[in-house]
Amino acid sequence: MKTKIWFYLFAVMTVFLMVINSCTKKESTETTPTNTNPYAMFQYTIKSNGIVSFTNTSTNATSYLWNFGDSTTSTTTVMSFDHQYLRNGTYKATLIAYGNGKSAGAYADLTITSVIGNVPTVVTNPITNITQTMATSGGNVTSDGGSTVTARGVCWSTAQNPTINDNKTTDSSGTGSFTSKITGLAASTPYYVRAYATNSTGTGYGSQMSFTTSSGAFTNGYQGGDGKNQQYYVRAIRAFNSSTYSFILWRPSPINLP
C-alpha cells in the first residue's frame, strides 16, 4: 500500500514540474549580428633569391593596399602572388584592407637572407642645360652591390618613376660618376628622370628628378657696321632659360622676320 502511495506522489510531482517548466520556457527570436567590418590577414612563404609568396586571407574587404617595406606598394586584388626583394635585410610588410567604409591592417616582419648579391646603389644628378629638345643629367654609382656594374645611365619619361624600359642612355659601366645627355625631347613638356645601374642581380635606381623643357624665344636684331657704314642684320634664337644667343642668319640687308 505504501509503495503505491509513493508511486502516485512521484508521478504527481513529475507532472507538476513539467507544467512549471513549460510555463517559463521561452523561444528565442534573436539572431547573432553579422560582422561586416573588414578583417585584414595574410600568409607568406619566403623562397629563394628574395622571392616571397603572399596569400591574402582578408575578409569583408573590397580593396587593398600593400606596402612591402622596400619602397614599393601595390593595390592588387589578386589573392596570391610573388614579390621579390632585391636586398637582404628585415622588411615590414603591411596590408590594409578596405570595406564597408572602414579599414583594417595586418603586418609581418620578414627577414630576407636568400638574395645572392644586391643591386647597385646610384644617385641621380640634378638636371642642367635644359633647352627645348635636350638636357643634361647623370649620376654616381656609389656601390656595385657585390658584382660588376655592366650598364649605367639615366632613364626618362613623361610619367613618374621611369625605368630602363622607357627612354634611357647607356653611359659606360662600373662605379663612379657619369654624365648623361638627354635628347629627343618635346618643347614645353614635363619630364621625370632617374639614374640607373645594372649588375647580375638586377637594376638599382636613384631618386627621381623632374624638369620642363623650354618653349624657346626668337629675337631679331642687328650688330653694328663693318667700318663702311654697313649694318648686318641677324636672326637669333635663344633658349627660354638661357642667356646665350645662337645667330642663325646674317645678311647685309634688312630681313622680314616673324
Coil, helix or strand at residue 123:
strand
Domains 42-112 and 121-212 share a fold: yes
Residue pLDDT, tens place only, 11-48: 556 655 565 555 444 444 444 556 789 999 999 999 98
Strand order in the sheet with 42-46: 42-46, 51-56, 80-84
pTM of this prediction exceeds 0.75 = no
CATH 2.60.40.10 holds for 42-112:
yes
Domain-wise residue ranges, the chain: 42-112, 121-212, 217-251
Number of H helices, E strands in the chain: 1, 18
Q: Is residue 28 classed exposed, middle or buried when 0-12, 13-18 and 19+ CB atoms within 10 A define those classes?
A: exposed
- Percent of the chain clearing pLDDT 70 (strictly above): 70
Q: Inform me whether the pLDDT recorded for 137 exceeds 60.
A: yes
Place of cell 633658349: 239
CATH 3.30.300.20 holds for 121-212:
no
Residue pLDDT, tens place only, 181-218: 999 999 999 999 999 999 988 899 999 999 999 986 54
Q: Write out the three cell numbers for 92.
A: 615590414
221/233 Cα distance (integer angstroms): 6
